[in-house]
Chains A and B, each alone.
Chain A
Amino acid sequence: MSENPNAKLVYMANQIATFFQTQPAAGAAEGVATHINKYWEPRMRRKLFEHIAHGGEGLNPLVIEAAEKIRRPEAV
């Protein structure tokens, strides 16, 4: 998991998406976003947004769908 500097983060986001994908479809993206908002420190969220801005390679589409509901960290 070391080729991509964001590989671990992508993996974690995808794990969360994998869980919510199995839940009723209506709340899945919301679930991913709420989870990341509640538990991810701003640095992690910032990196996630950066990764998405660079094409979001490897991310589960549900994470990308959830991104608009994920809180953007304040600028440093």
Chain B
Amino acid sequence: MSLIHEIDYGTPASKSEKLVTLTIDGREITVPEGTSIMRAAMEAGIEVPKLCASDMMDAFGSCRLCLVEIDGRAGMPASCTTPVAAGISVSTQTQRLKDVRRGVMELYISDHPLDCLTCAANGDCELQDMAGAVGLRDVRYGYDGENHVTARNNGEINAKWAPKDESNPYFTYDPAKCIVCSRCVRACEEVQGTFALTISGRGFDSRVSAGMNEDFVSSECVSCGACVQACPTATLTEKSVIEIGQPEHSVVTTCAYCGVGCSFKAEMRGEELVRMVPWKDGQANRGHSCVKGRFAYGYSNHRDRILNPMVREKVTDPWREVTWEEAFAHVASEFRRIQYQYGRDSVGGITSSRCTNEETYLVQKLVRAGFGNNNVDTCARVCHSPTGYGLNQTFGTSAGTQDFDSVEHTDVAIIIGANPTDGHPVFASRLKKRLRQGAKLIVIDPRRIDLVRSAHVEASYHLPLKPGTNVAILTAIAHVIVTEGLANEAFIRERCDWSEFEDWAAFVAEPHHSPEATEAYTGVPPELVRGAARLYANGGNGAIYYGLGVTEHSQGSTTVMAIANLAMLTGNIGRPGVGVNPLRGQNNVQGSCDMGSFPHELPGYRHISDDATREIFEKLWGVTLNHEPGLRIPNMLDAAVEGTFKGLYVQGEDILQSDPDTKHVAAGLAAMECVVVHDLFLNETANYAHVFLPGSTFLEKDGTFTNAERRINRVRRVMRPKNGYADWEVTQKMAQAMGLAWNYRHPSEIMDEIAATTPSFAKVSYDYLDQMGSVQWPCNEKAPLGSPIMHVDGFVRGKGKFIRTEYVATDERTGPRFPLLLTTGRILSQYNVGAQTRRTENVVWHAEDRLEIHPHDAEQRGIRDGDWVRLASRSGDTTLRALITDRVAPGVVYTTFHHPSTQANVITTDFTDWATNCPEYKVTAVQVSPSNGPSDWQRDYDEQARQSRRIAGKLEAAE
């Protein structure tokens, strides 16, 4: 094992198809037109010295190290900014170049500290490497003159020196070590797209500045780490590297946060993780990262992590630590007892969209083959189940149509019900890059998300609709496209069912679907809707990206179908730059759905009632499978309250905090006789658990995650599980205790079983993934390299199906008692229920959930910024502090749900999507009023949670 070093070619690759041949150091080299001389040389294995160049960003030409000489041309041009030309002859090493480079280096080093031995970058310093490369042996200028290196100069205070900025929890900025190469500034602009950094001053006064000379943590910096990665010196350095030292080996793995599924190098020293660095060859992230994946992994060592199995008789008892064997035996006997007493269908399981495909597969297998029923569901129920339903109905398969690279070809992007800069930051950076190149943007969101207007990005249209009216607005857009004759008839005739289209077109053309008619409930001025519709239909490659603001509604599935209709209507399917792109919340939402986590379908989206599919698994597993669909999560809880559902195995999901209508969830859990929680922490659901099985982190196990673009990425173990077992082993041992003859020795064997039973995974194996890096399913004989884009020559279902989408208002309505609409979302630094990110330094950016409220609504209620307010709905009430902002429209309030003390889901109702029971998180009628502090419910809940987390023989664990 050794460190993985990616080659830095110095400048980005040229996409030109025209080739140019030139000579460098006597070698003939052929590269695409537009390639820099620096890159051409590197491709031939000739490394020209450089400091300010990196292939992650455009050439800058400031360091003056990469000079070359070209026969017949005067001077010494910078090889990074000089493109190749046919027939030229380039020399990268001549006496003149050597002298100039050494002189340049001497100047750099004359204003740089010589503490190399104790410097954190020792062993990973490009400045040091370049000093070596140019043969610098002496610095003639001395260090007594003007400099940025020493705090005092000849006894006087040195005004040019600045102290280290250690305000960011994850990295430091040491201006004394800066060579002003601008790589950090350019990375912030070009890679991340935040523009938080700049060079202040000029000449010798130049210095990197976060915001307006602020410290990093107070500036607009989003802590993505791109600048740290770009820095060639120790100026920007991970605190973990400062503390531990340089890593000695690295392993490529996949981030366990959002559905973008970024590839990282886990850089290690022994079993200690030194840092996570985005992998340039990662096909989802292309070398970029966000604050969560890059830095927020500290939870894996957090003192709250539970490492021993525990059981208890009653949920009011303290926990008792037991051996694994006792825990498995207890679970097996309890589940057997419950099934004997209450029937085969009285137990079930919940698979995790945080865990690997292999682990998910095993949990659903345990339920189907071990429990003998189909009561298995996954947290995708509460986020993207409508995507599955809607896209399956219209296109014939339950998945996004594109890869993330596709955005590089998009001309018009529609973002609806998603906030990528916070929820899917690395995708947002890639989108912003495309927008800066001139692509147009339409945002459909009740809230003014950052993409509506931020540095060098401005949406052409923002349709600030009332929460709950997605279907009305999308149908109105379709109305405009159809009635104004902007549809792509050729595409529809060739690829879709024409008679269904005619029926649908007549439906959307009805006057009551026009933007003018729908304004009454959407609140969006019709000219904005018409403008957006025309732009999407006429603007070139149109791509729709959407998130949970689409799915988590009572008409979630209808909205997904409306999105699919629009894509078919405009022919925006089946090529790069277009498509329907669900932005998946969790790392493995796609995978958990693929793996048969839903109660009605086996792996590969095949319905449980299909005899042929059941037979495949029955033969392999040696059991008879139940042909009836099982209970979905909300149905399980209803059945529990009614007394027919008594036992639940929950792997890696916190349903008490993340599912709507907390009181109903709590009542369901409380009615069960054996709740088994398998997790890293005593989460909120564990307050009602009888057995706790400690889980392992993504760093501690092998497996695969499947991201939002259907990409199957390897997760690789870099350290032993602190709890003793990877999660797949825990499920296997539990199955064995229940008498199932499972004997997987490695997750690769589970993947082999998946491939053998699931046609869309037929060619997938760990060996193949190692060879390919990653593949996007379907990956089989028909598509051996995987499928970056779906529905290329035709829809999976045959003809694309247009489906009527009538707007039906949710029954969750405002009225005199609850006049405001609450919608929910997330923030960049925190992740979902926060179980992980709250246990990292990310709390610096977001220590509590706040209620965003418009100044008008706040003033009417006498609420000032920062005041405690009571937030009440028909379901319950809670308190949190107000944040007054015009990002939300009057009549709408917004909050995040990252902190258990807020209990935002006490407020949300049990209304669900009509087709999938996906909860309607995004619309709740509420009232907001001034408050003195936590509600009675919050106090009771805290006390109950505290009591339920006691472990016999241990001091109370404080969170």
Q: Footprint of B on A, CB under 8 Å?
A: 1, 5, 8, 12, 15-16, 18-19, 22-24, 35, 37-44, 73, 76
Tell me the complex Cα distance, A41–B805, Å: 26
Q: Is the CB of A38 within 8 A of B607?
A: yes
Instruction: Provide 19 A-B residue pairs closer than 8 Å at the C-beta atoms, listed in order of the A residue.
Output: A12-B914, A12-B917, A16-B915, A18-B808, A19-B558, A19-B914, A38-B607, A39-B600, A39-B632, A39-B915, A39-B916, A41-B345, A41-B628, A41-B629, A41-B632, A41-B635, A42-B628, A43-B644, A76-B343
Chain B's nearest CB lies how many Å from the CB of A31?
10
B503 at the interface (CB under 8 A from A): yes
Tell me the complex Cα distance, A9–B942, Å: 33
B220 at the interface (CB under 8 A from A): no
Q: Is the CB of B638 within 8 A of A8?
A: yes
Given contacts A8-B910, A43-B345, 4 further A-B contacts (CB under 8 A): A22-B806, A24-B503, A39-B629, A44-B631
- Interchain CB contact (< 8 A) of B639 among A18, A23, A43, A73: A43
Chain B residue with Cβ nearest A23: B804
B938 at the interface (CB under 8 A from A): no
Residues of B within 8 A of A5 (CB): 642
Residues of A within 8 A of B808 (CB): 18-19, 22
- Interchain CB contact (< 8 A) of A41 among B343, B599, B912: B599
Between B375, B600, B629, B912, the greatest number of chain A beta carbons within 10 A of the residue's beta carbon is seen for B629
Q: Footprint of A on B, CB under 8 Å?
A: 343, 345, 374-375, 503, 554, 558, 599-600, 607, 609, 628-632, 635, 638-639, 642, 644, 803-806, 808, 910, 912, 914-917
Q: Is the CB of B639 within 8 A of A19?
A: no
Chain B's nearest CB lies how many Å from the CB of A23?
6
Q: Is the CB of B629 within 8 A of A15?
A: no
Q: Is the CB of A38 within 8 A of B609?
A: yes
The 7 closest A-B pairs by CB, nearest first: A22-B806, A15-B914, A41-B631, A42-B628, A19-B914, A22-B804, A41-B630
Q: Is the CB of B638 within 8 A of A19?
A: no
Residues of B within 8 A of A73 (CB): 628
Residues of B within 8 A of A1 (CB): 910
Contacts known (A24-B503, A44-B635); A19 close to B915, Cβ less than 8 A: yes
Tell me the complex Cα distance, A67–B600, Å: 20
Tell me the complex Cα distance, A44–B916, Å: 14
Between B609, B635, B639, B808, the greatest number of chain A beta carbons within 10 A of the residue's beta carbon is seen for B635
Chain A's nearest CB lies how many Å from the CB of B906?
17
Tell me the complex Cα distance, A8–B628, Å: 21
Tell me the complex Cα distance, A11–B937, Å: 28
Residues of A within 8 A of B917 (CB): 12
Tell me the complex Cα distance, A24–B501, Å: 12
Chain A's nearest CB lies how many Å from the CB of B875?
11
Tell me the complex Cα distance, A39–B393, Å: 14
Chain A's nearest CB lies how many Å from the CB of B454?
38
Tell me the complex Cα distance, A39–B914, Å: 11
Residues of B within 8 A of A24 (CB): 503, 804
Chain B's nearest CB lies how many Å from the CB of A10?
13
Residues of B within 8 A of A15 (CB): 554, 914
Residues of A within 8 A of B915 (CB): 16, 19, 35, 39
Chain A residue with Cβ nearest B601: A38
Tell me the complex Cα distance, A7–B382, Å: 22
Tell me the complex Cα distance, A11–B607, Å: 25
Chain B residue with Cβ nearest A38: B600
Tell me the complex Cα distance, A38–B343, Å: 22
Residues of A within 8 A of B910 (CB): 1, 8
Residues of B within 8 A of A42 (CB): 345, 628
Chain B's nearest CB lies how many Å from the CB of A75?
13
Residues of A within 8 A of B638 (CB): 8
Contacts known (A39-B600, A43-B345); A16 close to B806, Cβ less than 8 A: no
Chain B residue with Cβ nearest A22: B806
Tell me the complex Cα distance, A37–B609, Å: 10
Residues of B within 8 A of A38 (CB): 600, 607, 609, 629
Chain B residue with Cβ nearest A14: B914
Contacts known (A39-B629, A41-B599, A73-B628); A23 close to B803, Cβ less than 8 A: yes
Tell me the complex Cα distance, A35–B638, Å: 20
Residues of B within 8 A of A18 (CB): 808, 914
Chain B residue with Cβ nearest A40: B629
Tell me the complex Cα distance, A22–B510, Å: 13
Chain B's nearest CB lies how many Å from the CB of A19?
5
Chain A's nearest CB lies how many Å from the CB of B642?
8
Between A19, A35, A73, the greatest number of chain B beta carbons within 10 A of the residue's beta carbon is seen for A19
Chain A's nearest CB lies how many Å from the CB of B845?
39
Tell me the complex Cα distance, A39–B386, Å: 13
Tell me the complex Cα distance, A5–B916, Å: 21
Tell me the complex Cα distance, A68–B808, Å: 26
Residues of A within 8 A of B803 (CB): 23
Chain B's nearest CB lies how many Å from the CB of A49?
14
Tell me the complex Cα distance, A50–B639, Å: 16
Chain A's nearest CB lies how many Å from the CB of B123?
58
Residues of A within 8 A of B639 (CB): 43
Residues of A within 8 A of B912 (CB): 12
Residues of A within 8 A of B558 (CB): 19
Chain A's nearest CB lies how many Å from the CB of B325?
34
Residues of B within 8 A of A22 (CB): 804-806, 808
Tell me the complex Cα distance, A6–B632, Å: 17
Chain A residue with Cβ nearest B645: A43
Residues of B within 8 A of A16 (CB): 914-915
Tell me the complex Cα distance, A37–B630, Å: 11
Chain A's nearest CB lies how many Å from the CB of B610?
11
Tell me the complex Cα distance, A33–B599, Å: 18
Between A15, A23, A37, the greatest number of chain B beta carbons within 10 A of the residue's beta carbon is seen for A15
Tell me the complex Cα distance, A39–B631, Å: 8
Chain B residue with Cβ nearest A37: B609
Chain A's nearest CB lies how many Å from the CB of B397?
16
Chain B residue with Cβ nearest A41: B631
Tell me the complex Cα distance, A35–B912, Å: 16
Residues of A within 8 A of B642 (CB): 5
Chain B residue with Cβ nearest A15: B914
Chain B's nearest CB lies how many Å from the CB of A21?
8
Residues of A within 8 A of B375 (CB): 41
Chain A's nearest CB lies how many Å from the CB of B639?
6
Residues of A within 8 A of B804 (CB): 22-24
Chain A residue with Cβ nearest B874: A1
Chain A's nearest CB lies how many Å from the CB of B931?
27
Residues of A within 8 A of B631 (CB): 41, 43-44
Chain A's nearest CB lies how many Å from the CB of B359?
24
Residues of A within 8 A of B632 (CB): 39, 41
Residues of B within 8 A of A43 (CB): 345, 631, 639, 644
Tell me the complex Cα distance, A16–B607, Å: 19
Tell me the complex Cα distance, A42–B608, Å: 13
Chain A's nearest CB lies how many Å from the CB of B844?
42
Chain A's nearest CB lies how many Å from the CB of B646?
13
Chain B's nearest CB lies how many Å from the CB of A42?
5
Residues of A within 8 A of B374 (CB): 41
Tell me the complex Cα distance, A21–B630, Å: 26
Tell me the complex Cα distance, A43–B345, Å: 9
Tell me the complex Cα distance, A8–B503, Å: 33
Tell me the complex Cα distance, A76–B343, Å: 9
Chain B's nearest CB lies how many Å from the CB of A29?
16
Tell me the complex Cα distance, A22–B632, Å: 26
Residues of A within 8 A of B554 (CB): 15
